A and B are shown apart, each in its own frame.
Chain A
Amino acid sequence: MTQHLYLSLMPEALIASQLEPEEFGTYYAVGSEHKTQGKAAFFEIDPGFRHPELAIDEALQRCVPHPDGVPKRSVYVSVYRVVERVPLGALGRLYLVTQDGRTLGIDRSTRLPEEAPGLHLYHEIAPLHPLVVSTFDPRAFHAFFMGGGSKYLSVPAFCWAELRLGDLATDPERGDVRDLPYDSIDHLRSCLVALTTKSVTTKIVDRLHPSAFSFRTLKNGVFFGNREGLVIYAMPSAETLRDKNFAWWRSANM
């Protein structure tokens, strides 16, 4: 059986498994006996990836089938500081798993999204997961956290998603909420307004935001940045998802 390495983002962890990505996604979201539940997001990692601080080989040695032949579902390599140790080159496909175990694989994109006017809403996924609004586009946001903005605000690597703001991006005070499912929408509006009235470029909306988020609110896609650079996993259009991944789309839109 093939051994896989997965970088889980919700929560952050490096996991060895004999399950194929779709099977792992289902298992990771709903558990083997339906005792766990929740959305998941993970990268498939180059199986040749090694790091001196991560005991990958030892984990792979334990990642063998059960006596009854059932594949080993998961062997945890590490649950801390994984994101900062994985180089961009080791990142494979990104998988987004709905709460009921439907898995969508997204390929790495070579192009960054075109800059659109208006404000931005970023959900940091790992290593921490605050909800942030910003005037920066994804590229500037990445540069900001890589030390370009302030010497006090610098991280070695992080993964985040840009979420839709709809009308609020250009009219935070009066824009129609429509299908934006965010909690405390008035607070979000005031944070967005602060970006336009005060001399701040980034503002935290929620410091202790839940790590999971509604996949249907994804705007451009998911970003992974470190000091090497920035990569994007562009979200397919809603039409494409409905055409080609209808089961996932239905679950993601609940």
Chain B
Amino acid sequence: MNNDIWLVAGIGAGVVSIAASLLYYAWVAGQDPGGEKAARIALWIREGASTYLKLLYTTLLVVAVILGLVIAVVFSGDSTRPLHGIFTALAFGFGSFCSALAGWLGMSIAVRANVRTATACSRSIGAGFTVAFKAGAVMGLAMVGVAVLGMSLIYLLWHDVEIILGFSFGASSLALLAKAGGGIFTKTADIAADLVGKVEIGIPEDDPRNPAVIADNVGDNVGDVAGMGADIFDSYVAATVAAMLLGASFAATGGAQYVVLPLILCILGIASSIIGLQFVKVGPDGKPGRALNFGTVFSCFVFAILATAFFGGVNWAAGTTVFNWGALIATVAGLGIGVLMGFTTDYFTNDEHNPVREVARVSGSGTGLTIITGFSYGLVSIAPAVVGIVAATLVSYFTAQAFGLPGIYGVGIAAVGMLSLTGIVVSNDAYGPIVDNAKGIAEMSGMDHEVVDRADVLDSAGNTAKAITKGFSISAAALTVLAMFAAYTEVIAKYSGGKGLLLDLQDPLVLSGILLGCIVPPLFSALLMLAVTKNAFAMIAEIRRQFAADPGILAGTSTPDYKTCVAIASSGALLALAFPAALAVLLPLAVGFILGPGGLGGFLGGSIFTGVVFALLMSNAGGLWDNAKKYIESGNCGGPGSEAHKAAVVGDTVGDPFKDTAGPSLNTLITVMSLVASLFAPIIARFHIF
């Protein structure tokens, strides 16, 4: 069978997904944008987001040009493939562009959907939900569409998986800037707005008198729409490319169909997501959280059925086993465990369960206990997630092996299975900041309190969806980098004359690599969180200055200067990002060229292990502290203004950069480092000091 047909199908699926995304875009844009006051606030948010995106994409362009030139020069040294460097550089640029395009589409609709969702909430919860969810689907479908279109197109053009690595590296570079930069932006604004607005002045959340309130709302979009979207896009592409690389490594014996199987699974995932999206509906006063979860679980079943039908259909039509059934079992195992782990995260961060309630309860005895208890539950939360990753790894590895496939290919395909529903998962995730903004706009524009209440119900469901997505994305990233790690060893073996890479713990180079790798995630986290505190400090000074300079702001007779706060958050985020981002790219190269392939292998292993642990700890502890505060605010353990509430506010402030800046950025960090290693593996295999 000519596998090019699947690549053409991939391009077709990508186009269909993008077209569906644009249809949703047009539908959302056609909804009622609300009254003048709400529209004015939405415009401020849109302008703020636009300011940040321009800065981000300008920075990205500079980074892409520099890295593209480096790739073009470095990879042109191979006389057998003189144009390989240029093609890889082009793929790199195309990957960056695709990720940026998906992010821009998602952001563009999110900052229009917020006010439309608020306006729709004046009719019913269901109406507000539909607008927000369809807007989220724009991001979800655009993302998987451009990813599958890009990967299929590049492989169709060159039939070289290593060139697709360039595409993946391009996507990851943008993801690193978007996720970490968005994380710094959003928490700079959030913390500064809260510390001055709520704590010092005593004004409520989302109050238009707060000069940082627009920056805070912009931050929701750049952090949780563009940032989280880019992060999952990066994992999605990296997982697919890693599985394709692993497929290519045994294509000579197993068949070339295993190279394109990951792309086929992506196509089925797109179809499942589009079908699933049609069934996500909320009645006039229904439960939005239930609708979101139903959509995800339903899409899982659709995907499993489609994948089984595909394997069965192709094998039956061919009269032989074209696609090994072991790959299907590994795929479904990855998918099931991915969803399960998302819900595990929910246990630790949802106020219906013991961890959040326990943190709220002990908060009455002071901040110390809030921090200790929340941090401890964050540590506990690592265990089930890691056990899940282990289970997915072992099940997929041994199942694939039992069916005659390389075990590591099973792991790679399990990661693809886990990420196959990215379309609907990202839709759920992008829904969160849209409804968060909608609630803010409803409050700031003085809409009826029933509208605010409905937006609040949507927002609560969005918070849960965000927590589930974070658990999902960390787990997916972990499995992806395990596959990417295997891909790295394959590339090293290929360019070392077939000599496999053996990572011996008694080898000082490997051990040194592991230790160096272990320190990168905590170092990266610290740099990002210090950037948040530094920028927040600058913004706090600006908010205080504005309140002191114009008493009319607090009296409600003057409009604050929102733009200055947005500018502080934007420039501060991107400036602060330069050093940690450079570390992510340069450290693996330095380790590789000095310690050699074994040292770099150890380095990747160390960074993956601590990266996963830190990402889970920080995301879950942060989410837990946030929801403990919300639990108290909803009238428990003393309610607002109580000692428990004051302690919980401190816990939430500590947890903010944990869960929205450092934690999720670690996914991208470990993916970028794995991609840099895999991409440069052919050169490192030949040139290294030790």
Contact = CB atoms under 8 A, between A and B. Distances in A.
A250 B204 contact: yes
A242 to B, nearest CB: 5
A229 to B, nearest CB: 33
A69 interface: no
B198 A177 contact: no
Contact of A34 (B364, B449, B548): B548
Contacts of B555: 26, 30, 101
A182 B203 CA distance: 21
Q: How large is the interface on B (under 10, 10 to 19, 20 to 34, 35 or more residues)?
A: 20 to 34
Nearest to B453: A242
B439 interface: no
Interface in B189-205: 198, 200-204
Interface in B159-209: 198, 200-204, 207, 209
Nearest to A181: B642
Given A26-B555, A30-B554, A32-B551, A179 B639 contact: yes
B643 interface: yes
- Grouping DSSP codes into helix (H, G, I), strand (E, B) and loop, the A interface class, with mixed when no group exceeds half, is loop
A98 B636 contact: no
Interface string A197-216: 00000000000000000101
B498 interface: no
Contact of B548 (A33, A37, A246, A247): A33
A30 B449 CA distance: 26
Contacts of A174: none
Given A100-B554, A246-B449, A253-B640, A181 B645 contact: yes
Contacts of A243: 449
Contact of A179 (B202, B554, B638): B638
Contacts of B636: 178-179
Given A100-B554, A178-B635, A251 B641 contact: no
B609 interface: no
Given A37-B202, A100-B201, A254-B204, A216 B640 contact: yes
Interface in B638-660: 638-643, 645
A17 interface: no
Interface string A238-254: 00001100110011011
A32 to B, nearest CB: 6
B453 to A, nearest CB: 9
A59 interface: no
B201 A33 contact: no
Interface string B529-551: 00000000000000000011001
A238 to B, nearest CB: 11
Given A26-B555, A250-B204, A177 B449 contact: no
B417 to A, nearest CB: 46
A177 B207 CA distance: 29
A226 interface: no
Given A246-B449, A254-B198, A34 B637 contact: no
B140 to A, nearest CB: 34
A116 B554 CA distance: 40
Interface string B441-452: 001001001001
B641 A254 contact: yes
Contact of B635 (A33, A101, A179, A251): A179
Contacts of B551: 30-34
B638 A185 contact: yes
Given A31-B551, A101-B554, 17 more contacts: A30-B201, A30-B554, A34-B201, A34-B548, A100-B201, A100-B202, A100-B203, A100-B209, A177-B638, A181-B640, A181-B643, A185-B364, A185-B638, A243-B449, A251-B202, A251-B204, A254-B204
What are the 9 closest A-B residue pairs judged by CB atoms, nearest first? A179-B639, A99-B202, A181-B642, A179-B635, A100-B203, A181-B641, A250-B204, A181-B638, A100-B202
29 contacts: A30-B201, A30-B554, A30-B555, A32-B551, A33-B548, A34-B548, A37-B201, A98-B202, A100-B201, A100-B207, A100-B209, A101-B555, A177-B637, A177-B638, A179-B638, A179-B639, A181-B638, A181-B639, A181-B641, A181-B645, A182-B642, A185-B638, A242-B449, A250-B204, A251-B202, A251-B203, A254-B202, A254-B204, A254-B640
